[in-house]
């Protein structure tokens, strides 16, 4: 934009008002359009400059001499006034309406349909925001104008404009309390967005950007459904907005285990035909594009109906079939953040509809402030964050009204699955205290676990992983984790067969050369790193990955500069990108006994779950245990050993982890010494003496009582117990 401004201003040195009046006006008009959308500079001032340039152009573009240019400039000027910051808001909107109405005198449906539609859309926006006059009458004019624009902006001709007009029309219906019409309109917009998404043959990034742009559409649909008391449909649209890429990828990858073989063959045939038709449309090689578009819709409908017959998921996700799979002892609490609310859905099989907490109960602004303070303290003052963690969690429990949420759950429910949203994924919600010194672990003795969405829980149900005898482990590849060797070698003793990659042997090449398809448990005890700016470059750090000297030029695709001034060679790490290529088709559990392995990209608003756990879920794991912060080496070793001891007793993953966390939290120094002696940990005498000496040096009677030591790890994606 800045370059465009320079070129236009350069052109004006020749295109003067006197010598080239028409070109001068055209260039001023172009400058107005750039300044109206300009990113740099002060927005208030940019809009004033844009108004100035449009008014300049109207000195030449009169209605009589250049009617079409006059109309376009009136539309541009109206846009400037509509978004103007300076001056009186009511007067600015009235000025905008006058400009749009003037433009429509020339830009008619017959003479100039596309500009007519654009101006109708702008006029509708102005009336939707109008202050003067009767609110309902203004909205009625806006609705009519949006409907006018949609005569040109159709699903087939201009789908993106079609969605924008439908979205704004839905808002106008909502604001005029015509909720059923709002719902119908938002549905039409969602169907168009999802058809646009399906046209993208390749490129998850493109799909993510589309999802980010139209996330607000799903939010509004959820709000309208709740207003109409269609709680089940509200949760369906919540789910349709979440984890679309991951759900589609897993559905495709696991189709052979989800569907009968004849159905897989039909789905593959439909997939190939859809891909071929998409390619023809994108490359403009179709002989009859309109007919091909209609055929493509039919193919997609056939595919969706076939999939949904066996597993309703994605845009076909249905609440009732999902709810029927729940045990009567299981409760799900799903969070959903909209523009100005935190919605809380409580799902059990005791009620036909999800229970929805009053949106007014939780103050979203307070929650956002708390989360910002928490994350800032973690990134900048870790010691301060650690000291105040217990206090912070008590405050978070109050802000979220956890006690009120729990009251809504039937007392017979003894297992809880939490489904966070966006930055809530980064918080140890399982560690939130309840009144009277109680905890969620006390209230739900069969386990507290997490899932990215209901749909991924559905997919987890299709993964039967009864065997748990074969271990694969990466052990201390950087050689600087004092207690990791104790952890892994003890855990190894609980399995019939094991394959350990120890210290310097634990390279990326060694992992690549290992067949993981028959592994039942994959345990990574190493350093982890979450890349905030490029989450797909987040990694488990393997042997030889950290460079002693940085390369002359650091290529961000292959190298990563660490905060301690070190450099990682990403090609020697197990990055999220490379995790997606693993085959863990028999894996019941992946344990990431490392730092920050449970963090996800919370800044994108596409509702995609992007982090190391998602990679392992895609690769085939039923459950992933990961951490939310930089963990302590000693306490983690004890926690993990106890966790695997619980697993060997036959406990489900979440319950085994919860009980290990409670054990660690309440453990005294004396208890710990006794446990080390009695459990006959496979340690040589020197290592055992050193370990006991380290325990003796611990200061507090209950050295791991702080949530910092026990609450970092959470279980993601585990199936619930059968009914």
Map 459-470 to HEC letters: HHHCCCCCCCCE
Q: How many distinct helices (H) and strands (E) make up the chain?
A: 31, 19
Predicted pLDDT at 721? 46
pLDDT confidence of 134, banded at 50, 70, 90?
A: very high
Segment 19-41 shows an average pLDDT of: 95
Residue with the larger pLDDT of the pair 690 and 508: 508
Q: In the structure encoding, which two tokens stand for residue 155, read together?
A: 């699903």
Predicted pLDDT at 648? 94
Q: Is the pLDDT of residue 381 over 60?
A: yes
| Cα–Cα dist 126/211, whole Å | 27
- Other C-beta atoms lying within 10 Å of the C-beta of residue 277: 18
| Cα–Cα dist 406/716, whole Å | 21
pLDDT confidence of 330, banded at 50, 70, 90?
A: very high
Which residues 6+ apart lie within 8 Å of 397 measured at CB?
403, 432, 433, 434
Q: What is the pLDDT of residues 506-522, one digit of tens each?
A: 999 999 999 999 999 99
Q: Is the pLDDT of residue 565 over 80?
A: no
**3-state secondary structure (DSSP) of residue 193:** helix
| Cα–Cα dist 359/342, whole Å | 7
Predicted pLDDT at 700? 84
Segment 447-468 shows an average pLDDT of: 91
Strands 567-569 and 546-547, by their bridges, are antiparallel
| Cα–Cα dist 541/524, whole Å | 10
**3-state secondary structure (DSSP) of residue 107:** coil
Predicted pLDDT at 436? 86
Segment 104-131 shows an average pLDDT of: 96
- What letters, b where the CB count within 10 A reaches 16 and e where it falls short, cover 405-438? bbeebeeebbbbbbbbbbbbbbbbbbbbbeeeee
Segment 558-577 shows an average pLDDT of: 85
| Cα–Cα dist 394/525, whole Å | 31
Q: What is the pLDDT of residues 233-288, one digit of tens each?
A: 999 999 999 998 899 889 888 998 899 999 999 999 998 998 888 888 777 888 88
| Cα–Cα dist 195/174, whole Å | 24
Segment 430-440 shows an average pLDDT of: 93
End-to-end CA distance of the chain: 60
pLDDT confidence of 542, banded at 50, 70, 90?
A: very high
**Of 169, 629, 564, 137, whose CA–CA distance to 427 is shortest?**
629
Q: In the structure encoding, which two tokens stand for residue 169, read together?
A: 């029309």
Q: Is the pLDDT of residue 162 over 60?
A: yes
* Cα 9 → chain centroid: 43
Predicted pLDDT at 722? 41
Which residues 6+ apart lie within 8 Å of 395 measured at CB?
370
- φ, ψ (nearest 5 deg) of residue 589: -145, 135
Q: In the structure encoding, which two tokens stand for residue 379, read together?
A: 């990134």
| Cα–Cα dist 496/214, whole Å | 50
**3-state secondary structure (DSSP) of residue 560:** strand
Minimum mean pLDDT among 62-66, 188-192, 330-334, 556-560: which range? 556-560
Predicted pLDDT at 293? 82
Percent of the chain whose predicted confidence (pLDDT) is above 70: 97
**Contact call for residues 46 and 71 (beta carbons, < 8 A):** no
Predicted pLDDT at 461? 81
DSSP state of 718: P
**Contact call for residues 670 and 663 (beta carbons, < 8 A):** no
**Contact call for residues 70 and 92 (beta carbons, < 8 A):** no
Predicted pLDDT at 203? 64
Q: What is the pLDDT of residues 654-684, one digit of tens each?
A: 999 999 999 999 999 999 988 888 776 777 7
pLDDT confidence of 49, banded at 50, 70, 90?
A: very high
DSSP state of 599: -
Predicted pLDDT at 551? 66
| Cα–Cα dist 559/405, whole Å | 45
Segment 487-496 shows an average pLDDT of: 94
Q: In the structure encoding, which two tokens stand for residue 716, read together?
A: 């993601």
**Of 497, 500, 520, 517, whose CA–CA distance to 587 is shortest?**
520
- Mean pLDDT (the chain) is 92
The kind and range of the H/E element at 427 are none
Q: In the structure encoding, which two tokens stand for residue 613, read together?
A: 């756990």
Segment 635-649 shows an average pLDDT of: 96
| Cα–Cα dist 658/664, whole Å | 10
Predicted pLDDT at 723? 34
| Cα–Cα dist 188/165, whole Å | 11
| Cα–Cα dist 202/630, whole Å | 36
DSSP state of 585: T
**Contact call for residues 26 and 57 (beta carbons, < 8 A):** yes
Which residues 6+ apart lie within 8 Å of 79 measured at CB?
36, 96, 122
The kind and range of the H/E element at 624 are strand 623-627
Which residues 6+ apart lie within 8 Å of 159 measured at CB?
192, 195, 196
Q: What is the pLDDT of residues 599-622, one digit of tens each?
A: 998 887 788 899 999 999 999 999
Predicted pLDDT at 472? 98
pLDDT confidence of 210, banded at 50, 70, 90?
A: confident
Predicted pLDDT at 144? 98
Predicted pLDDT at 686? 84
| Cα–Cα dist 198/200, whole Å | 5
């Amino acid at each position: 934009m800045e370059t465009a401004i320079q070129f236009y201003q350069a052109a004006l040195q020749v295109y003067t008002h006197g010598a080239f009046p028409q070109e001068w006006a055209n260039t001023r008009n172009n400058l107005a359009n750039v300044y109206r959308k300009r990113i740099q500079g002060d927005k208030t001032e940019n809009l004033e400059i844009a108004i100035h340039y449009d008014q300049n152009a109207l000195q030449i573009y009169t209605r009589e001499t250049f009617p079409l240019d006059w109309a376009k400039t009136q539309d541009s000027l109206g846009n400037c006034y509509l978004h103007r910051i300076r001056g009186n808001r009511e007067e600015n909107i009235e000025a905008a309406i006058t400009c749009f109405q003037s433009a429509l005198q020339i830009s008619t449906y017959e003479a100039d349909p596309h500009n007519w539609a654009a101006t109708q859309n702008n006029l509708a926006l102005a009336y939707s925001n109008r202050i003067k006059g009767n609110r309902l009458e203004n909205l009625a004019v806006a609705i009519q104008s949006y409907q006018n624009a949609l005569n040109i902006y159709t699903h087939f001709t201009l789908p993106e404009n079609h969605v924008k007009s439908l979205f704004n029309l839905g808002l106008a219906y909502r604001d005029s309390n015509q909720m059923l019409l709002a719902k119908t309109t938002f549905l039409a917009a969602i169907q168009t967005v999802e058809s646009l998404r399906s046209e993208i043959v390749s490129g998850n990034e493109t799909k993510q950007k589309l999802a980010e742009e139209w996330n607000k559409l799903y939010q509004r649909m959820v709000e309208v459904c709740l207003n109409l008391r269609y709680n089940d449909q509200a949760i369906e649209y919540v789910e349709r907005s979440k984890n679309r890429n991951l759900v589609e990828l897993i559905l495709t990858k696991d189709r052979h285990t989800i569907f009968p073989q004849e159905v897989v063959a039909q789905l593959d045939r439909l997939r190939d035909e859809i891909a071929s038709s998409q390619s023809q449309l994108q490359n403009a090689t179709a002989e009859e594009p309109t007919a091909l578009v209609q055929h493509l819709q039919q193919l997609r409908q056939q595919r969706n109906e076939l999939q949904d017959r066996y597993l309703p998921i994605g845009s076909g996700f249905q609440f009732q079939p999902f709810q029927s799979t729940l045990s009567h002892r299981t409760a799900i609490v799903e969070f959903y953040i909209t523009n100005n609310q935190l919605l809380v859905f409580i799902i059990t099989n005791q009620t036909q509809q999800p229970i929805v907490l009053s949106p007014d109960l939780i103050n979203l602004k307070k929650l956002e402030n708390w989360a910002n303070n928490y994350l800032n303290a973690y990134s900048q003052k870790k010691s301060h964050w650690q000291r105040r963690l217990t206090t912070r969690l008590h405050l978070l429990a109050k802000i979220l009204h956890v006690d009120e949420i729990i009251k809504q759950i039937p007392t017979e429910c003894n297992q809880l699955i939490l489904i966070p949203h966006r930055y809530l994924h980064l918080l140890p919600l399982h560690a939130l205290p309840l009144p009277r010194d109680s905890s969620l672990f006390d209230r739900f003795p069969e386990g507290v676990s997490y899932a990215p969405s209901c749909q991924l829980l559905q997919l987890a149900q299709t993964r039967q992983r009864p065997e748990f005898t074969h271990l694969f482990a990466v052990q201390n590849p950087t050689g600087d984790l004092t207690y990791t060797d104790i952890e892994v070698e003890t855990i190894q003793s609980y399995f019939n067969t094991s394959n350990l990659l120890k210290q310097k042997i634990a390279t990326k090449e060694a992992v690549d050369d290992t067949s993981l398809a028959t592994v039942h448990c994959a345990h990574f005890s190493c350093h982890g790193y979450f890349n905030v700016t490029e989450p797909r470059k987040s990694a488990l750090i393997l042997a030889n990955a950290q460079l002693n000297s940085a390369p002359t030029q650091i290529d961000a695709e292959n190298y990563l500069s660490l905060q301690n001034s070190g450099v990682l060679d990403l090609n020697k790490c197990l990055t999220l990108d490379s995790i997606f290529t693993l085959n863990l088709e028999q894996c019941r559990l992946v344990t990431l006994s490392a730092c920050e392995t449970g963090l996800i990209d919370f800044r994108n608003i596409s509702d995609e779950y992007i982090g190391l756990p998602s990679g392992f879920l895609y690769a085939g794991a039923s459950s992933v245990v990961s951490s939310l912060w930089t963990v302590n080496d000693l306490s983690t070793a004890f926690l993990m050993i106890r966790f695997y001891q619980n697993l060997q007793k036959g406990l489900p993953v979440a319950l085994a982890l919860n009980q290990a966390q409670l054990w660690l939290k309440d453990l005294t120094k004396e208890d710990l010494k006794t446990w080390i002696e009695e459990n006959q940990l496979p340690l040589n005498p020197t290592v055992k003496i050193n370990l006991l000496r380290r325990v003796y040096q611990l200061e507090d009677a209950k050295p791991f009582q702080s949530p910092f030591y026990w609450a970092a790890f959470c279980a993601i994606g585990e199936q619930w117990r059968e009914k």
